[in-house]
Amino acid sequence: MENLRNKQAFICDMDGVIYHGNRIIPQVPAFLEWLQKNDKQYLFLTNSPERSPRELAQKLARMGLEVTEDHFYTSALATASFLASQCKKGSVYVIGEPGLTFALYEAGFSMNDVNPDYVVFGETRSLSYEKIEKAVKLVQNGAKLIGTNSDLTGPSETGIIPACRALISPIEMTCGQQAYFVGKPNPLMMRHALKKLGCHRADVAIVGDRMDTDIIAGIESEIDTVLVLTGVTNMDNINQFAYRPKYILNHVGEIVG
């Protein structure tokens, strides 16, 4: 554990690690205070594309945590960056929340519901049959299908809920095409995180609640992994996976000691 505390930087997931919905996990304020007092670099790296860094900073502020916008990086930003490298000034049909649409606008994309280059899908509570039907037609007509992240489920205040990969599946199944997912565990997301931190991977630990995104992302990027049991993965379902995190903790507060 001492080796973990000596790390220069921490990449932390948010849902299931920092909060559940709008409820902060009790040990998080002590963890954040420890990071700041010990001059640790840290980045909140979330697969949720719904909110911009500013909105995430405001959300934490409402919970009593002061974190500046530069400490956040989302799958929406990673998706926009990836698509901009593939197709400058292209067009998109978006199914998602404002955080995703704004990231794509900022990256130079225009909205197009007739003949877009991409159909981009992120978690949203406003999903409808009409939007699925529209996306299917656009993909069948040649648009490429992009998912912001490959999470099947996510944690909430009320329990486990469907996430991007589950919600996009009707489009994939109808079109007979697999979406390309940009968020964790895609190495693109991890490279963005390391670049933003300006750290070598040996000096970084990734903290997450999911074996299938956070932990595998860390393992494949050769970053030390910390699984916390406050989210999706627990000691009952961890044996479903053929790999193990370096550390298993009940919550982030245990990093502090």
Residues 120-156 pLDDT 10s = 999 999 999 999 999 999 999 999 999 999 989 887 7
The per-residue pLDDT for range 23-54, each reduced to its tens digit, is 999 999 999 999 999 999 999 999 999 999 99
Distance (Å, whole) CA 163 – CA 161: 7
User: Does one domain contain both 96 and 175?
Assistant: yes
The per-residue pLDDT for range 84-108, each reduced to its tens digit, is 999 999 999 999 999 999 999 999 9
Share of the chain above pLDDT 70, in %: 100
**Confidence grade of residue 1 (pLDDT, cut at 50, 70, 90):** confident
User: Could you say which of 157, 181, 205 is where a domain stops?
Assistant: 181
Q: Which of 226, 213, 229 is nearest to 25 (CA)?
A: 229
User: Does one domain contain both 223 and 162?
Assistant: no
User: Does one domain contain both 27 and 91?
Assistant: no
Residue 162 domain boundaries = 78-181
32 within a domain of the structure (yes/no) = yes
54 within a domain of the structure (yes/no) = no
Per the annotation, the verdict on 224 as an active-site residue is: no
> Could you give the angle at the alpha carbon of 167 between the alpha carbons of 124 and 48, nearest 5°?
45
Q: Are 109 and 92 in contact (CB under 8 A)?
A: yes
User: Does one domain contain both 226 and 151?
Assistant: no
CA distances to 8, 122, 193, 247 from 199, rounded to whole Å, are 8, 29, 9, 21
User: Does one domain contain both 100 and 28?
Assistant: no
How confident is the model at residue 221, as a pLDDT? 94
Q: Are 165 and 232 in contact (CB under 8 A)?
A: no
**Confidence grade of residue 69 (pLDDT, cut at 50, 70, 90):** very high
199 within a domain of the structure (yes/no) = yes
User: Could you say which of 181, 198, 221 is where a domain stops?
Assistant: 181
How confident is the model at residue 228, as a pLDDT? 97
User: Does one domain contain both 147 and 238?
Assistant: no
Q: Are 183 and 79 in contact (CB under 8 A)?
A: yes
How confident is the model at residue 156, as a pLDDT? 74
CATH at 169: 3.40.50.1000
* pLDDT, mean of residues 189-212: 94
Look up the pTM and report it. Answer: 0.91
Is the pLDDT score of 197 beyond 90?
A: yes
The residues, ordered by sequence, that sit 6+ positions from 93 with a Cβ below 8 Å of its Cβ are 111, 112, 113, 116, 118, 119, 120, 134, 135, 138, 143
58 within a domain of the structure (yes/no) = no
- 195 exposure class (CB count in 10 Å sphere: 0-12, 13-18, 19+): exposed
User: Does one domain contain both 86 and 146?
Assistant: yes
User: Does one domain contain both 189 and 149?
Assistant: no
Is the pLDDT score of 158 beyond 90?
A: no
**Confidence grade of residue 164 (pLDDT, cut at 50, 70, 90):** very high
How confident is the model at residue 85, as a pLDDT? 96
61 within a domain of the structure (yes/no) = no
84 within a domain of the structure (yes/no) = yes
Positive or negative CA dihedral for 212, 234, 44, 60? positive
User: Could you say which of 132, 156, 181 is where a domain stops?
Assistant: 181
Is the pLDDT score of 160 beyond 90?
A: no
User: Does one domain contain both 214 and 161?
Assistant: no
71 within a domain of the structure (yes/no) = no
Q: Are 249 and 227 in contact (CB under 8 A)?
A: yes
* pLDDT, mean of residues 210-216: 94
Distance (Å, whole) CA 181 – CA 92: 15
Catalytic residue among 15, 209, 212, 224: 15
Number of structural domains in the chain? 2
User: Does one domain contain both 18 and 102?
Assistant: no
Question: How many helices (H) and strands (E) are present in the chain, helices listed first?
Answer: 10, 15
Is the pLDDT score of 157 beyond 80?
A: no
The per-residue pLDDT for range 242-256, each reduced to its tens digit, is 999 999 999 999 999
User: Does one domain contain both 109 and 169?
Assistant: yes
92 within a domain of the structure (yes/no) = yes
User: Does one domain contain both 90 and 165?
Assistant: yes
**Confidence grade of residue 18 (pLDDT, cut at 50, 70, 90):** very high
